[in-house]
Chains A and B, each alone.
Chain A
Amino acid sequence: MVGIVLVSHSAGLAEEAAALAVGIAGEDAPIRPAGGTEDGDLGTSLTKLEEAVAEVDQGDGVVLIMDLGSAVLTARAFVEDRADVVLADAPFVEGAVNALVTAGTGAPLDAVVAAAEEARTIGKLC
């Protein structure tokens, strides 16, 4: 199974977004939050990101879904050394749900990334 990590400025946002995705999509594939700094402030922790990736990594690749700013930059710096970890350019909540649904079917890494990114094109009012 492809693993998913939600990288956010906020620990609470990452945790709740992961919980929401699990509530909707089930827990067939692993998903973990990596939010906030190590001190619990707003920001991004490379250490938390590394730990979360290690937890969801089952050998089939890992997708990172980021909110903004330092979360994006930290994730980008992290994947420089990791070909098996891919960034999805996706909305945080909808991307997480789409990715988890697709990963739960046993889909490969590129399909999970594509599903997350597809969430960008789905309108809420049309």
Chain B
Amino acid sequence: MDTAFFLRWIAVVTERVRAERDHLTDLDRAIGDADHGVNLDRGFTAVEEALAGRSPETPADVLTTTGTTLIRKVGGASGPLYGTLFRTLGRSVGDVAEVSREALAEAFAQGLAAVMKLGSAQEGDKTMIDALAPAIPEMRTSFDAAARAALDGARATTPLLARKGRASYLGERSIGHQDPGATSMAIVIDALRAA
């Protein structure tokens, strides 16, 4: 996968986050503070502008620019979390023109570790990690399998008790709602198929 692939991936994520903005915000209204869709849309719109202004020449440049812009522009907790994921992806793929699916899966594994450390979160805490973690081993097989695993992981957050993030303040009342962060993470991973 070359620079153009990664630019298409981010463009598809941006488009889908925009289309799903109200849905993500509604999910966040149930167990959070009703800003997840709005925040991510603002962040990826800023990413779109940053990438257009920069004309990145490597996959790492696309990924690092995306991450740095998200940290700077989102304003909510998803900014540093997604920003750290994309920056770690950029650092991990390194200064190359082409990235294999295996190398990207390895980069995602490092990204997962960085996000877990930043958020002090584990699988099963009802966070974006519940969509991200199961997708990574599947990514070595295909993006289709990774997308299915991410979607299943996001759906499986519904019965969970939130242990991290704003939803954790709700305790038992967080049960019965799909996690907005896991839902947006499934969008991000699913977009790899369309890139």
Whether the pair B77, A70 counts as a contact (CB closer than 8 A) is yes
| B119 located at the interface, meaning its Cβ lies under 8 Å from any Cβ of chain A in the complex | yes
Picked from B72, B76, B84, the residue with its CB within 8 Å of the CB of A70 is B76
Given A70-B76, A70-B77; A76-B118 close (CB under 8 Å): yes
Q: What's the nearest-Cβ distance from chain A to residue B20, in Å?
A: 20
Whether the pair B119, A73 counts as a contact (CB closer than 8 A) is yes
The size class of the interface chain A forms with chain B is: 10 to 19
| A45 located at the interface, meaning its Cβ lies under 8 Å from any Cβ of chain B in the complex | yes
Complex contacts, B118 vs chain A, CB 8 Å:
73, 76-77
Whether the pair A76, B72 counts as a contact (CB closer than 8 A) is no
| A44 located at the interface, meaning its Cβ lies under 8 Å from any Cβ of chain B in the complex | yes
The size class of the interface chain B forms with chain A is: 10 to 19
Q: How far, in whole Å, are A41 and B118 apart by their CA atoms in the complex? A: 23
Chain A residue nearest in CB terms to B77 = A70
Whether the pair B166, A69 counts as a contact (CB closer than 8 A) is yes
Whether the pair A73, B81 counts as a contact (CB closer than 8 A) is yes
Whether the pair B79, A74 counts as a contact (CB closer than 8 A) is yes
Whether the pair A77, B72 counts as a contact (CB closer than 8 A) is no
Q: What's the nearest-Cβ distance from chain B to residue A72, in Å?
A: 8
| B75 located at the interface, meaning its Cβ lies under 8 Å from any Cβ of chain A in the complex | yes
Q: Mark A49-77, 1 if CB is under 8 A from B, else 0.
A: 00000000000000000000110011011
Which of A37, A41, A73 is most buried by chain B, counting CB atoms within 10 A of its CB? Answer: A73
| B165 located at the interface, meaning its Cβ lies under 8 Å from any Cβ of chain A in the complex | yes
Q: How far, in whole Å, are A39 and B73 apart by their CA atoms in the complex? A: 10
Given A69-B166, A73-B119; A37-B81 close (CB under 8 Å): no
Q: How far, in whole Å, are A42 and B39 apart by their CA atoms in the complex? A: 11
Chain A residue nearest in CB terms to B119 = A73
| B109 located at the interface, meaning its Cβ lies under 8 Å from any Cβ of chain A in the complex | no
Whether the pair A47, B72 counts as a contact (CB closer than 8 A) is yes
Chain B residue nearest in CB terms to A74 = B80
| B83 located at the interface, meaning its Cβ lies under 8 Å from any Cβ of chain A in the complex | yes
Whether the pair B83, A77 counts as a contact (CB closer than 8 A) is yes
Complex contacts, A77 vs chain B, CB 8 Å:
71, 80, 83-84, 118
Q: What's the nearest-Cβ distance from chain A to residue B131, in Å?
A: 18
Complex contacts, B39 vs chain A, CB 8 Å:
43
Q: How far, in whole Å, are A34 and B119 apart by their CA atoms in the complex? A: 20
Q: How far, in whole Å, are A77 and B75 apart by their CA atoms in the complex? A: 13
Whether the pair A76, B166 counts as a contact (CB closer than 8 A) is no
Q: How far, in whole Å, are A38 and B39 apart by their CA atoms in the complex? A: 13
Residue pairs across A and B with Cβ atoms less than 8 A apart, 10 shown, are A44-B76, A47-B72, A69-B76, A69-B165, A70-B79, A73-B81, A73-B119, A74-B71, A76-B118, A77-B71
Supplied contacts A44-B79, A70-B79, A74-B80, 18 more A-B pairs, CB within 8 Å:
A37-B75, A42-B33, A43-B39, A45-B75, A69-B76, A69-B77, A70-B75, A73-B77, A73-B79, A73-B80, A73-B81, A74-B79, A76-B80, A76-B118, A77-B71, A77-B80, A77-B84, A77-B118
